[in-house]
Structure 1
Amino acid sequence: MKICKTISEFKNWRNSNIHENIGYIPTMGALHKGHLSLVASSKLHCDKTVVSIFVNELQFSPDEDFEKYPRTLEQDLKKLENHKVDVVFIPETSEIYKSDFSILINELDLSQKLEGASRPGFFSGVTTVVSKLFNIIEPSYAFFGEKDIQQLIIIKKLVLDLNFNIQVVGCETIREASGLAMSSRNQYLSDQDKKDASILYETLQLGQNLLKKNETVGETKLQLKSKLQNNKKIKIDYLSIANSTTLEELRDNVKLKNEKVIISAAIFFNDVRLIDNIII
């Protein structure tokens, strides 16, 4: 497994593999089975697999957890080597953002909702760094998890609007035995918290069942909020039932017909922010 720390070092490798079909997984490290499932998908479809590890400060607001975000590079590299990744790109911040860096990539519609409304500037940081990494890595395929469904939708729009010659592949959410979606931030939770936090997925499943039984969107949301608010450890950030393409919220009086929707939520569980979704 080759480790590259600079763009020029990576480009040298890339130029020697110019005709290879490259699969790429961008990460911020603290790797778990969700990330490794993306690696497995890449290895299934591509000649070579590249993983980047870069904690992107641009997507953190000043009051978020950039400084304490889990950094487990040694363990991450062992996991990637065990999964026979070809190259790991681990640049320093100064390699990605020069001191006079002054250009941002902004998505102006999808990024204003849900996560974007709760975390202003987040998606600008994501689309900027992903654009830069796509230009550096030049992959044929890029693999993203469906747990971050809004991010996946925005990255697909980014590729379409900016004419990247990349196929973005969404991969299913990997979960703990309890149902809790795997996330690097789960490291902030105790084992008991992880079990208790599975109420988030249970709530989304309840929403799916209610909508499939012809309940209205408004009544479904009321029942989901009630279920979450009954747990004293939980503070709801947002709860959404939205169109899966536009991310527009469905009106309260709507009953699910043929429209594809996403039920999603963000909560604070003992001050740890967790997100999850179900696509219907």
Structure 2
Amino acid sequence: MKIIKSVADLRHERMKQTHKTIGFVPTMGYLHEGHISLLEKAKMECDWVVLSIFVNPLQFGPNEDFTLYPRDEARDLAIAKKIGIDLVFVPGVEEMYPEESLTRVNVRQVTERLCGAKRPGHFDGVATVVTKLFHMVQPDRAYFGMKDVQQVAVITQMVKDLHFPTTIVPCPTIREADGLAKSSRNVYLNQVERVQATILHQSLTEVEQRVQTGALQTASEMVTYVTEKIKSQPLAHIDYVEALTYPRFETFDQWEQEDILLAVAVFFGRTRLIDNHLIRFKGGETYV
């Protein structure tokens, strides 16, 4: 496994990989089972796999502390080596942004709700850094977890609109045995918060059962059901609960037999957790 810190060295190594299928998993490090599942899928499907570890300052808002984001590079590299990753790109901020960047990549519509509304500029930062990484790595396939469903939608739209020769591979959310989605932020939960946080997955999956039986038929009914279930946990403070069409993230009233995304963001203490559930009308992968 090669560990590369410069863009020039990354491009040099990439140029050697002729006639190979290139897989790419971009991360901000502090790897957990969700990231590992992406890396393992990339290893199965591609000849040469690149992992990037970069905490991107462009995705942090003015009230979000970039310096406090969890980091453990040595542990991440040990995980990557065990999986058999071919190259790990670990650039510093000065390597990715050697001078003030005057360019931002903005994807409209799918960034205007959910976390995009709550964290202005966040997805511009995501789209910008992924664009840079795609230009550097030139992957055939890039792997993203559906826990961050809005990120998947943003990157998929960006790749389509800008004609990147890269296939975006959405992968299922990896969960604890009790349903809590794996996340780097889970380490901040105390024991009581951790138990109460299981209400997120529970409430979202219950909605699908009621939608399929006709007990819930409108977006407002779906949102009300999830909201009341989450409020039953005293430590939960809701940031948002929304029901939208997928993948365009449009509002709707009556369910008209289309794919629906139920998405939540909830604080337990100071820890903000996100989760979602995709209701597929015509079947197919739900990524839950």
Relative to structure 1, is the Cα distance of residues 191 and 231 closer, same or farther in structure 2, using a 3 angstrom cutoff?
closer
Determine the structure 1 residue equivalent to 2:135. 135
Aligned residue for 2:235?
A: 233
In 1, distance between residues paired with 2:108 and 2:119? 14
After TM superposition, the structure 1 = structure 2 runs for residues 1-280 of structure 1, keeping only pairs within 5 Å, are 1-214=1-214, 215-217=216-218, 218-251=220-253, 254=254, 256-280=255-279
Number of residues of Structure 1 aligned to a counterpart in Structure 2: 277
Greater Cα offset, 47-56 or 228-237 = 228-237
Cα RMSD (Å): 1.1
| Equivalent residues of 1:238, 1:266 under 8 A apart | yes
Q: Which deviations, in whole Å up to 9, do the C-alpha atoms of 1:139-182 show, x marking residues without a partner?
A: 00000001011110110111011110000000000001110001
CA distance in 2, matches of 1:31, 1:191: 21
3-state SS in 2 of match to 1:239:
strand
Identity %: 40
Rounded to whole Å, the distance in 2 between the matches of 1:65 and 1:212 is: 41
Instruction: State which drifts further: 235-244 or 207-216.
Output: 207-216
Q: Distance in 1 between matches of 2:66 and 2:234?
A: 27
Q: State the distance in 2 between where 1:80 and 1:191 align.
A: 29
Task: Give TM-score scaled by structure 1 length.
Answer: 0.96
Q: CA deviation at 1:191?
A: 4.4
CA–CA separation in structure 2 for the residues paired with 1:91 and 1:19 = 26
Shift of 1:193: 2.9
Moved more, 216-225 or 126-135: 216-225
Residues 51-100 of structure 1 show CA distances to partners (whole Å, capped at 9, x for unaligned) of 00000010000111311110011111111111000000000001111223
Show CA shifts across 1:23-55 (max 9, x none).
000000010000000001101110011000000
TM-score normalized with structure 2 length: 0.93
Distance 1:164 1:102 in 2: 21
8 Å contact from structure 2 (residues 193, 235) kept in 1: no
**Any unmatched runs of 5+ in structure 2?**
280-288
Contact 1:207–1:221 under 8 Å retained in 2: no
Q: How many Å apart are 1:20 and its aligned residue?
A: 1.5
Letter in 2 for 1:122: H
Runs of 4 or more above 6 Å deviation: none
Instruction: Give, in angstroms, the shift of residue 229 of structure 1.
Output: 1.3
Shift of 1:194: 2.5
| Distance in structure 2 (CA, Å) of the matches to 1:150 and 1:69 | 20
Structure 1 stretches lacking a partner, 5+ long: none
Q: Judge which range, 256-265 or 172-181, deviates more.
A: 256-265
